[in-house]
Amino acid sequence: MPRLTAVNRLLRELVARPSINPTFLPGQPELTGEERVAEFLAETARSAGIEVRRQAVLPGRKNLIARISPSGKVRERIMLTPHMDVVPAPGSAFRPKIRNGRMYGRGTCDTKGSVSAFFSAFLDLARKGPLPRETEILFVGLVDEEFGQAGSRRLAEKGPVGDLAVAGEPTGLKVVSSHKGNLWLRLKTQGKSAHGSTPQHGRNAIAAMGPVLDFLFDEYPKILARKSHPLLGSPTLSVGKIIGGTQPNVVPDECTIDLDRRTIPGESEASVKKEMVKALKAKGIASPSFCLSRSVPCLPLDTDPDLPLVRSFLRAAGKRKPTGVPYFTDASPIATGGTPALVFGPGNIAQAHSDDEWVELEQVERAHAIVSRFLGSLS
Ligand SMILES: [Zn+2]
């Protein structure tokens, strides 16, 4: 077997440090929390003479901010911002295995491949130079991407703000400038309960939900198809959960459904609700009550592909144009905080969160080369 390159040796070290998002797995400190990964990166950075600080986000969970200063005055700031948490997996998934040019293990693809590629390029720059004259480079390891994006939201709120951020996700080395936003809506129909033997004395809330579901499955997709974004296509809706009633002999007085509505730039929570109410009304369907079942906004990302730094990143990646993806990332909260953001990294999203997660070693090496090329192109 050929010897691993430095970037893949670092990846193996990172995967071997479990960092499951603790929200998914409370009470298992030996597998959860970003601290093992963050401290390992912090130590490695410090030993290369890089300044490191931590940003408190949640109890025991802190973003890592490492900084390389330019040789002259700071006029521009680039932030490499991959996340350090992973989704749950058994302990054995944190013993990385290498087979057929791939590394297997939890986080190889989502997104320690990106952490390793970004951090290696960052470290190389500090060790070997040449340092940019006017651009400050930050490596920001974020916590909590997989649950509530508390790390990127804190960064957006407290700073620092930069001229470009690159969030790490397995984009297969494509440069992503747009992604959809995400709204979780709950719709509720109200009825009147009665004994199951005398249903005529009640109003069945499940029956009232019937036409709403017909509308959502048959009519609403046509309304969504009329809207489109050049990189993202049309918004989508998925009905993910339904609850109604308590037992067979009681006429249900309440039925709720939970919706996952993926938005495109220009859409908001308010505009989506208005659109649904209007369309339901036009169909003569008694409007169910709405509420948002997740209160944090997950807005779409729509970074201007013509920004000079975006052009430079595309050039470094050997791409002419950026791409859009349907999934939500840390890039959106970061962009909301005032830093234009891209998404980029090795691996395929199809392997993210899967039981059999892997990344191609060669893609991690290429991601490292691309980020190095980009950092080398800064003034
Ligand atoms: Zn991820």
The helix-helix angle for 361-376 and 113-128 (nearest 10°) equals 40
Residue 1 has pLDDT above 60, yes or no: no
Q: What is the pTM of this model?
A: 0.91
CATH number at residue 108: 3.40.630.10
At 2 the pLDDT is: 66
Q: Which two tokens stand for residue 76?
A: 């521009």
Cα of 111 to ligand 1 centre, how many Å? Answer: 5
How many folded domains does the chain comprise?
Answer: 2
d(CA 193, CA 248): 12
Ranges of beta strands (E only) in the chain are 51-58, 61-68, 76-82, 97-99, 102-104, 135-141, 164-168, 176-179, 181-190, 236-244, 254-263, 289-292, 301-302, 323-325, 341-344, 358-360
Cα–ligand 1 centroid distance for 170 (angstroms) = 7
Residue 238 CA to ligand 1 centre (angstroms): 21
Residue 294 pLDDT level (bands cut at 50, 70, 90): confident
Instruction: Give the per-residue pLDDT at 155.
Output: 98
Query: What's the pLDDT tens digit per position in 51-90?
Result: 999 999 999 999 999 999 998 999 999 999 999 999 999 9
Is 88 in a helix, a strand, or coil? coil
Residue 107 alpha carbon to ligand 1 centre in Å: 8
Is 14 found in the same domain as 153? yes
Query: What's the pLDDT tens digit per position in 344-373?
Result: 999 999 899 899 999 999 999 999 999 999
Q: Which domain holds residue 313?
A: 6-179+301-376
Q: Please, are residues 187 and 289 in contact by the beta-carbon 8 Å criterion?
A: yes
Dump the DSSP string for 286-319. Answer: PPPEEEESS-S-B--EE--TTSHHHHHHHHHTT-
Domain C-terminal end among 250, 266, 292: 292
Q: Does 143 share its domain with 223?
A: no
CA 22 / ligand 1 centre spacing (Å): 15
Task: Give distance in angstroms: CA of 110 to centre of ligand 1.
Answer: 5
Q: Looking at residue 379, what is its pLDDT? A: 81
Task: Please say whether the beta carbons of 235 and 300 come within 8 A.
Answer: no
User: Do 148 and 22 belong together in one domain?
Assistant: yes
User: Residues 2-11, buried b or exposed e (16+ Cβ, 10 A)?
Assistant: eebeebbebb
Ligand 1 centroid distance, CA of 146 (Å): 6
Together in a domain, 190 and 237: yes
Q: What distance in angstroms lies between residue 269's CA and the mean position of ligand 1's atoms?
A: 24
Last residue of some domain: 292, 324, 350?
A: 292
**Distance from Cα 129 to the centre of ligand 1, integer Å:** 29
Looking at residue 108, its pLDDT comes to 98
Instruction: State whether 206 and 279 are in the same domain.
Output: yes
Do you find a cis peptide bond into 26, omega within 30 degrees of 0?
Answer: no
Segment 135-157 shows an average pLDDT of: 97
Q: Has residue 1 been placed in a domain?
A: no
- Among 292, 317, 346, where does a domain finish? 292
Distance of CA 129 to the CA centre of its chain: 31
| 256: Cα within 13 Å, side-chain hemisphere | 11
- Residue 326 and residue 217 share a domain: no
- Residue ranges with CB less than 5 Å from ion ligand 1: 110-111, 169
- Give the distance (Å) from ligand 1 centre to CA of residue 145: 7
Tell me: do 75 and 39 sit in the same domain.
yes
Answer yes or no: do 217 and 94 share one domain.
Answer: no
> Per-residue pLDDT averaged across 147-158, rounded?
97
Whether 356 and 226 map to the same domain: the answer is no
202 and 154 within one domain: no
